Amino acid sequence: MLNYILRRLLYAIPILLGVNLLTFALFFMVNTPDDMARIHLGAKHVTEEAISRWKIEHGYDKPLFFNAAAEGVDKAADTLFVEKSLKLFVFDFGAADDGRDIAREISQRMWPSLAIALPTFIVGLLAYLSFALLLVFFRGTALDTSGVILLVALMSISGLFYVIGGQYLMGKLWHWFPISGYQPGLDAWKFMVMPVLVGLIGGIGDSTRFYRALFIEEIGKDYVRTARAKGLSDLRVLFKHVLGNAMIPILTGVVVVIPRLFMGSLIIESFFGIPGLGSYTIDAIQAQDFAIVRSMVFLGSLLYIIGLVLTDISYTWADPRVRLE
Amino acid sequence: MIKPVLLWSDALILLLLAGIAALVWLARHNDTFRAPWRQVMASRMGSATALVLAVYAGIGLLDSLHYVERLPSEPGQPAQYSGDVRSALDALLTPLRENVEKTYSAPFATHLYAKETMTGPDGREIRDYPRLAFGGAHLADPQRDFWPDVTQRAGLGLLGGWLIWLVWRALRRWTPARRATATPGAAARSWTVLAMLLTAGMLVALAPHYHVLGTDKVGQDVLYLSLKSVRTGLLIGSLTTLIMLPFALTLGIAAGYFGGRIDDAIQYLYTTLNSIPGVLLIAAAVLVVQVQIEAHAELFETAAARSDVRLLALCAILGVTGWTGLARLLRAEVLKLRELEFVQAARAFGVTDARILLRHLLPNVMHLVLITVVIDFSGLVLAEAVLSYVGVGVDPAMTSFGNMINGARLELAREPVVWWQLAAAFVFMFILVLAANLFADQVRDALDPKSKERA
C-alpha cells in the first residue's frame, strides 16, 4: 500500500510539470511579459524604458527557457521558467503584483475558506444522502415523483440566484444575518450560516439526483431481492446493503474534492465577502495578477492529485476486495 | 438598403444547422436512428420541452442573421454602411429597441422610477415622477385609462393567439400525410403550442405600448434584453459542444481502441487538464485572449465583431477544457466493445483499423455522445452566467444572462427594490435550462439501454 501511494505521488510529478508548462505557455509565451507590463502601466505613455523597468521590478526580465548570457548550469536555471514556474514545486510562490508574499496570504486566507467549505461539504453530504435515501425508500410514490421534479427545478436555477435571493431574504428583508463580511473568532458563525446555507441549496439538485440514481440501480439487483426474501426490513436493506454497495461511486465523487476544500468557492466567497482563497483568486483574476493565478492553479492541481490518491485509499476501506498493489 | 454581415459565430451556427440537417437527411430511413427520437417525441415531457427549446432556438437563429444599414449618402459616392450591426430579431423588435426611457421603470409603469424636477403648468417647479416617453404614452389619463387599456389589449392578444391555434389545429387535421397518431406527445404538443401562442399574442399586443418587463438603468426595455440574451446562451451551449466533440471523439476512441502508449499519452493529457481547477483554467485562458484582443484592436471593424470573437474564444476554451469527461466515457466503452465478437470478426477479416473505428465502433458509441451533448447543454448555459459574473465570460457589452444578472445584482439594495431585471433573467434562464434538463432526461431514457432497464 505504501509502495502504491509513493508511486502515485511520483506519478504526480509529470502531471504537475504538465500543468506548469501549460500555464507557463499561456502566461509567458502567448502573453509575453511585455504585454503584461503594458496592461499594468496603462495603455498610454508606454515607453520602452518604462516596460523594461517594470519587467526588472517584477522579475520578468529573463529569457524564457534558455539564458545564453549566463554561465554553466545557469544557462538553464536562470530563466523565467525556473524562476516563475518550477519554484512552485518547493512552494515558493513569490510575490503578487502589489508586492505581498503569496505564500503568507495563502496560509492566512485558507482558514476562512475552510470555515465555509468544510461545513458545507459535511452537512451537504449527509443531507443529500439522506434525502436521496428518503426518495428511494418511497420510490414510485407521489413523494418520490414530486421530489424528483423539485430537484430538477432546483438544478435548473443558476447558482447566482441562490446567492442573490439568500442575501436579499435572509440579510436585507429578515435581518437574520449580516449580508456579507467575515470576522474570525467566536462571532464567525454569524457570517458562516448564510454562505453555507446557500452553498447547500445550490448543490442539492445535482447531488441528490445522482445519489438517487445510484441507489435505484443498486436496489434492482438480485442480492437486494435475496436480502428482502430472507426477511430483512426495508430500512436495514437500504442502509446496510444498498448504501454500502453504492459506496464506491459515492466515494469517487466525494473524496477527490476534500483536499480542495482549502481553496474555497470562488462565487460564494466573493459574493459574501469572505476573505478566503476563493475571493483572493477572483480578485487576482479581475486585477490580472498572473502570479497569484499561477500559484492557485498549481495548488489546485496538487490538491486534486492528492484527492485522487485519497480516493484510491478510501476504496480499500469501503470494499475489502480492493487491494492497492 | 441593407448589407448582410456574417459574423464568425453566425457562420458556425449555420454550419452546425447544416450538419444536423445533413445527418437527419442521411439517417431518415434508418430505424435504429429514428426509433429513440420517436420515443422522445411520443412522450409528453419530451415533445413539450422540445417545442420550448425550438422556440428558443428560433429566437437565437433570428438573432444570428446580422446586417448593417446603409447610411444616406450622395448619389455617385461609394456606399457608406453604419457600424451598428443589427439582426433580424432587432428588426422585428424595432419598437422595443427604440423605446428607450431615461432610467428604471417598473413593468407596465407609466411613470419613471425616479423623481425629477419639472416645470408645472402654472410655471412653478415641482418634484414628481415624470411620465415615460413611451410606456403608456398613448394614455390621456393613466390613472383612469390604464386598466381598461391593458385588459383590452391583453384580451385581443389572447384572442389572436387562440384563433391562430385553432387554425393551426385545423390545418393539422386536414394534412393527410400526417395522420395524427394519438400519442400523449401529440396532445402535449398541442397544449404547449396553445400556451406559447397565448403568451406571444399578449406580448405582441402589449409590448409596443408598455414596458412589459420594465426598463433597466439606462432605460432599455428588459424584455428586449432578455430576448437578445437567448442567443448568447444558446451559442455557448451549442458551439462549445461543436468544438469539444472532435477532441473527445478522436482522443477517447483512440485511447480505448489502440491502448498502449497512445492510451497512456491521452490519459496523461486528460488527467493534467482535469487536475487544473476548471474555473481557473478558463479564467486564465480568457484573460490571455482578452489581452490579445485588446492588443490587436485594429483587426475588428465593429464592436459586434470584437465581442463575437471573444464569445467564440470563450466557446473554444470551454470546448478545449471540457472534452475530458466524454473522452473518458468513450474510452471505457470502446475498451469493452473492442473485445466483442463483431469487432474481433472484422479484425480477423482484415478490415483496416480506420474502417473498424468508423463503421463498427463510432455508431455504437453515438448514444453516449448524444446523451452527453444534451446533458452538457444546460450546464453550459448556467456556466455562462457564472463566468460573466466573475468577469471572464462574454464581452461586458454583449447582452447575456450573466451580464444582465451582474448589472442587476445591486438593484435589490435600492429603495424601492428594482426586481424586474433579475426576475426577467431568472425566468428566461429557468425556462430554457429546465426544458433542456427535462429534454435531456427523455433523450437519455430513450437512448441509454441501461436506463431503460431501470425504468
In this structure, the number of other CB atoms found within 10 A of the CB of residue A46 comes to 15
Q: Residue B266: in which H helix or E strand, if any?
A: helix B260-275
What cell was used for A202?
Answer: 445550490
Any chain A CB within 8 A of the CB of B427?
no
pLDDT at B216 over 70: yes
Nearest to B422 among A18, A164, A286 (CB): A164
pLDDT at B178 over 60: no
Most A CBs within 10 A among B272, B286, B388, B409, hence the mutation to make, goes to B272
At position A94, the amino acid (one-letter code) is G
Q: Report d(CA A25, CA A84) in Å as an integer.
A: 12
pLDDT single digits (tens) B310-321 = 899 999 999 988
pLDDT at B455 over 60: no
Q: Please give the C-alpha separations between residue B86 and each of A20, A56, B394, in angstroms, as whole numbers.
A: 43, 47, 18
Answer yes or no: do A19 and B275 touch at CB < 8 A.
yes
Q: Report d(CA B381, CA B433) in Å as an integer.
A: 7
Closest residue in B to A160 (Cα) is B386
Answer yes or no: do A156 and B409 touch at CB < 8 A.
no
At position A38, the amino acid (one-letter code) is R
Cβ neighbours of B438 in A, within 8 Å = 152
By percentage, how much of chain B surpasses pLDDT 70?
97
Closest residue in A to B287 (Cα) is A288
Give residue B227's pLDDT band: very low, low, confident or very high (50, 70, 90): very high
Mean pLDDT of A291-308: 89
C-beta of residue A264 within 8 angstroms of C-beta of residue A278: yes
Task: Give per-residue burial for A183-192: e unless 16+ CB within 10 Å, then b.
Answer: eeeeebeebb
C-beta of residue A93 within 8 angstroms of C-beta of residue A277: no
Q: Report d(CA B328, CA A200) in Å as an integer.
A: 29
Any chain B CB within 8 A of the CB of A88?
no
Q: Report d(CA A237, CA A227) in Å as an integer.
A: 7
Residue showing cell 432556438: B57
pLDDT at B261 over 80: yes
Of A95, A198, A149, A13, residue with least CA distance to B434 = A149
Cβ neighbours of A157 in B, within 8 Å = 426, 430, 433
Which of helix, strand or coil describes residue B276?
coil
C-beta of residue A193 within 8 angstroms of C-beta of residue A116: no
pLDDT single digits (tens) A12-28 = 889 988 888 888 887 77
pLDDT at B165: 92
DSSP letter assigned to residue A276 = S
Interface A-B: count of C-beta contacts within 8 A: 123
Those residues with Cβ within 8 angstroms of residue B81's Cβ, 6 or more apart along the chain or in another chain: B3, B68, B69, B70, B71
A127 backbone dihedrals φ, ψ, rounded to 5°: -65, -45
Q: pTM score, two decimals?
A: 0.89
Is the four-CA dihedral A33, A37, A40, A43 of positive or negative sign? Answer: negative
Is the four-CA dihedral A58, A59, A60, A61 of positive or negative sign? Answer: positive
pLDDT at A159 over 80: yes
pLDDT single digits (tens) A161-182 = 898 888 888 888 888 888 888 8
From the CA of B321, how many Å to the nearest CA of chain A? 12
Burial class (CB in 10 A: 0-12, 13-18, 19+), A193: middle
Closest residue in A to B277 (Cα) is A300
Closest residue in A to B283 (Cα) is A285
Alpha helix ranges (H) inside B391-419: 401-408
pLDDT single digits (tens) B392-436 = 888 888 889 988 888 887 788 787 888 899 999 999 999 999 999
Give residue B249's pLDDT band: very low, low, confident or very high (50, 70, 90): very high
pLDDT at B328 over 70: yes
Cβ neighbours of A220 in B, within 8 Å = 453-454
C-beta of residue B251 within 8 angstroms of C-beta of residue B358: no
Burial class (CB in 10 A: 0-12, 13-18, 19+), B32: exposed
Most B CBs within 10 A among A154, A160, A298, hence the mutation to make, goes to A160
Those residues with Cβ within 8 angstroms of residue A107's Cβ, 6 or more apart along the chain or in another chain: none
